[in-house]
Amino acid sequence: MTAVKFYPPRPDKVYLFGTCLIDLLYPEAGMDAIRLLEREGIEVLFPQDQTCCGQPAYTSGYQHEARAVAAAQLDLFPGPWPIIVPSGSCGGMMRKHYPQLFAGTDLEEQASEVAGRIFELTEFLVHVCHLDLEDRGEPEKVVMHTSCSARREMGLADTGPALLAALGQVELVEQARASECCGFGGTFAVRHPEVSAAMVEDKTRAIEATGARRFITSDCGCMMNIGGRFEQQGKAVKGEHIASYLWRRTS
C-alpha cells in the first residue's frame, strides 16, 4: 500500500532545490518557480552549494558515488522548512531513494528527515498553496507531459494537469500516449539511444496529433528530449516548463 503524503499548512519559508538541468540549461524555469512561490507570500531559500541529487550515478548502479554526491546535499537544508523540487525525477530520488541509499549508515536518520520534507513543485502548489490562478494569456491549446518519475514514483499524474485546467483561456488536451515514457530516462537515453529515439518519436507523433503547438512538463529532461526531437523534425511544437508557463500567463 502506498503511504499517504502529509501536506502541512502553508509555510513562511521553503528551500528550493534547483536541479542540474535547471541550473545549467533552463535557469528561467527555476527563477519562475521562485517567483510563483514568492507571490504566495513564501520566502524562498536557495542554498548556493547545492549540486546534483545523485540520481544519474544511482540509476547507473554506482551506489557509492551516488551516496557521495547525495551526502553533500543533506547539510544544505538545516531548517525545518519544506524542500521544493521543480522536477518529479529529482524529487523522486530525494524522497523515495535517499532513505534506502543511506540505510545502515551514520546519515540514515538525516537522509530520512530530509526525504520527508521533499515536495515536487506542482504538488506543493496544488496541495499546500492551493494556488488560485487568474489567466491573463491568449486562448491556447496545450498538452501536458508528466514524467514517469512524477507519475509513477511520486503519484503526481494529476497535479500538473490540475494547474493547467485552472487557466481559463487554456484548452488542455490529452495525448494518446499520455502515460508512456518519452525515452529520456536520464542515462537510459545514453545507454540505449536507438530505443530512446524510437520512444520519443512515438511521443512527438502523439503530441502533434492533438493539434496543440505547445507541450508543458514539470521535468526538464523530458522537455529537452521531446523538444529536441521536434526541433530535429522541423516542427513548430515548443516545450515549456510548467513553472514558466504558469508565471507567464498569470503575471
58: three-class secondary structure by DSSP: helix
237 within 8 A of 214, measured Cβ to Cβ: yes
* Res 1: pLDDT: 36
Of 155 and 2, the structure prediction assigns the larger pLDDT to 155
* Res 177: pLDDT: 83
Q: For the chain, what percent of residues have pLDDT higher than 70?
A: 98
* Res 4: pLDDT: 56
- For residue 111, pLDDT over 60 is answered with yes
Cell of 227: 523538444
The pLDDT of 37-44, averaged and rounded, is: 98
Q: Which of 48-52, 185-189, 214-218 has the lowest mean pLDDT?
A: 185-189
Task: Give the C-alpha separation, 123 to 28, whole Å.
Answer: 20
CATH code for residues 13-127: 3.40.50
CATH code 3.40.50 region(s) in the chain: 13-127, 140-250
Measured from the Cβ of residue 136, the count of other Cβ atoms closer than 10 Å reads 12
The pLDDT of 110-134, averaged and rounded, is: 97
Cell of 210: 492533438
Q: Which of 33-37, 188-192, 218-222, 246-250 has the lowest mean pLDDT?
A: 188-192
Q: Is the dihedral of CA 91, 152, 185, 28 positive or negative?
A: negative
The CATH classification of domain 140-250, taken from the options 3.30.1460, 3.40.50, 1.10.1660, 3.30.200: 3.40.50
* Res 2: pLDDT: 43
